Amino acid sequence: MRDFITQLTDHNEKNHAEFSFYQTMFHTLIENASVGMYILGDETYSYVNTYYANLLGYTKSELTNGEVPLDKIIHPDDFPMIQKKIEKRKLKEKSEGCYRIRKLKKDGSLIYTEIHSTVAEIDGDVTLFGTVIDITERVVAENLLQESNERYESLFHNSPDAIFTFDDDGKFIHANPASETITGYSANELLEISFAPLVIPEDLPKAIIHFEKAKKGVASSSDITIMKKNGEKIHLNATHFPMKINEEIIGTYGIARDITQKILLDQQMEQLAFYDTLTKLPNRKLFEDRLSQMVCFSDEDRPSFAVLFLDIDRFKLINDSLGHHIGDELLKMFAERLKQNLRKTDTISRLAGDEFTILLSEVSQEEAIKLAEHINQIMKEPFDVAGHSITVAISIGLAFSSGKEENNAQELIRHADTAMYYTKKYKRNSYTIYTEEMDLNASYKLAIERDLKNAVLNNELELYYQPIMDLKTGKLTALEALIRWNHPEFGLIPPNDFIPIAEESRQIIGIGTWVLRAACRQSKKWQDSGIPPFKIAVNISTKQLQQAEFVDEVLTILEETNLESKWLELEVTESILMDDVGFIKESLLKLKEADISISIDDFGTGYTSLSYLRQYPFDKVKIDRSFIDDINNDLNGKRITSAIISLAHSLEMNVVGEGIEDEIQLEYLKKENCDEGQGYFFNRPLPAHSLPFNQR
């Protein structure tokens, strides 16, 4: 019996030792666990491990002695869930669960936790215990991902640009609503095809190259043309990107923007800048550019190109007798006949009015002469213009490149022009080859240049003024000052006859100063007499603007005449912007800062591009009268006029229509929201004493 008791005692002691070991081991594991653990009693914790206490920022005793109630730890919105768990424990309902709870730390900061809890019966008591994991970083990441996804979804569905994804074969995987709008296909239809059938054949190789680049990890962009479902062609700017997951390319995605309107506007602007609106031939700017290239790359030992200058004899008589619309139709038919009889490598240009130039490349003198004779011959055939049979004669001047370095485009054109005038004066309906001895207007030009020097001193110059009217109110907004020369021998000389000579001889600087001072003085005189103030517009030449002291000179004249700067408007032509661009731009900006208005005159005659309009501080754009003339009988003229008005307004500039001669032109400009107008319809240029408000 004693041995049995001894053995039993030893066995119990051994079991107790094992129990103590396991109890210590489990306690150590729980206390050092990297997750929170707790036992929850009625509204408070009966046990928490060290990790859980540290997680909340409390001591273990603060959490287990009832100092910190649960509603101080659990977020108010999540507290009802914990209360339900406690109720289940009280009702001795066994359960398990995993849920997220937001908790408030001792310092007030919020954390997200994931709870794994169990309600179980242990030794007859129902106990609620569980584990706690801090998932704050995961939740923040999930929220950011969700926000990012929502932003992407919003961008994808609401973007005005097409957004799409392709598989490796170029088939659509996803396509947003804008893709449907742009292509005309539904999303389901797009998902059945690749991009290839949409792209026009000539652009498909380019599109494939950019797609393949994206597949290799290189983003690329290109302009392509696609065919919509209805057969309409539209222009897109498409950018392709590689689509990567874990640095592995799984496809491509892209963004495409409809640039059709931009392309059309660019084409219109190019047409304005480089082509004649009536005949669609290259204009002076493009002709001079091509001729300059020919001069640069020609062989000096064997020059092989020629310039022909053509003028239709007595064309003014056709305009005066049959009307400008007949004259315009004749010019278009004349241009077309020229094109049909020249090589594609030759350049035909309408320089101005009834003047045309032809650049013949790779041609001998004999071949050029034969062509001139051929042109004269084919133009003898009558033109049938609106029921009128019109026969024209033309005068042609030829100039050949001499191979000398001093030859340039302008010089060759001038030589051909000189030869043409010689033909017009002495031969007509023939041709003349330019020689160095030839100068048809030499004596007249010399007399003009000589007498100009004394024109200011002899009070021979006079200013005429033409009204500029507000097309909405019909009120006067400005007067443009236009110079005239009362020559003692030749009588009243129009500016076209002496201004070019003044430019060449640099006398324009002194004349321009006289015009500016006289116009400002007259404007101030009108104001002082009680006439309501209006702007006075003065034309400025390139050579004036190139003077370093020009801005100071303008400000000095304003001070001398006591005219406020806001009543002065300076007009520059498009060609002025092609010379010494940086200095001229700086001068214009200084004038603008002085509250002087700046306008660009004769817009559309061949020099200014959209980029120039954006770069300069212009207040107004004056549409050249040639476009206004086209309003009556040319749909393209109307479109171009409308485009100029729209473009100027988009750049916050006012628009003036020049050369308005009838009610039709006026009403069209009003309809297109043109701001101001000028022309014989309102009044022809008059001297100051003949203006209506001087006759009160």
Q: Give residue-wise pLDDT tens across range 233-245.
A: 999 999 888 887 7
3-state secondary structure of 244: strand
Query: 8: which strand partners?
Result: none
Q: Tell which wins on pLDDT, 148 or 220.
A: 220
| Contact (CB, 8 A) for 512 and 603 | no
CATH architecture for segment(s) 25-138: 2-Layer Sandwich (3.30)
Domains 273-440 and 444-694 share a fold: no
Mean pLDDT of 510-514: 95
Interval 487-505: pLDDT, tens: 998 899 889 889 988 988 8
Q: What is the mean pLDDT of residues 405-427?
A: 80
Output 655 or 135, whichever has higher pLDDT: 655
CATH number for 444-694: choose from 3.40.50.720, 1.10.3720.10, 3.20.20.450, 3.40.50.12280. 3.20.20.450
| pLDDT (tens digit per residue) in 656-678 | 999 999 999 999 999 999 999 99
Q: In a 3-state reduction of DSSP, which class is residue 281?
A: coil
Per-residue pLDDT band for 8 (boundaries 50, 70, 90) equals: very low
pLDDT tens digits, one per residue of 589-627: 999 999 999 999 877 655 455 556 777 889 999 988 878
Which pLDDT tens digit goes with each residue over 47-100?
A: 889 898 898 999 888 888 888 888 888 898 888 887 787 777 666 666 677 888
Helices (H) and strands (E) in the chain, counts: 25, 27
> What residue spans define the domains of the chain?
25-138, 159-258, 273-440, 444-694
Helical pair 508-528 and 550-561, crossing angle rounded to 10 deg? 30
Q: How far apart (Å, rounded) are the C-alpha atoms in residues 89 and 41?
A: 9
Domain 159-258 -> CATH class: alpha beta
Confidence bin at 4 (pLDDT 50/70/90): very low
3-class DSSP state for residue 141? helix
Encoded tokens for 622: 């004056």
Per-residue pLDDT, 607: 45
Q: What is the pLDDT of residue 309?
A: 96
CB 660 within 8 A of CB 470: no
Q: Is the pTM of this model over 0.85?
A: no
Beta-ladder partners of 360: 306
Cβ burial 365-388 (10 Å sphere, 16+ → b, else e): eeebbebbeebbeebeeebebeee
Confidence (pLDDT) at 303: 56
Q: In this predicted structure, what is the pLDDT of residue 2?
A: 44
DSSP H stretches of helix in 171-301: 177-183, 187-190, 204-215, 260-274, 284-297
| CB-based contacts of 141, cutoff 8 Å, min separation 6 | none
Pick one of 3.30.565.10, 3.30.230.10, 3.30.70.270, 1.10.1740.10 as the CATH number of 273-440: 3.30.70.270
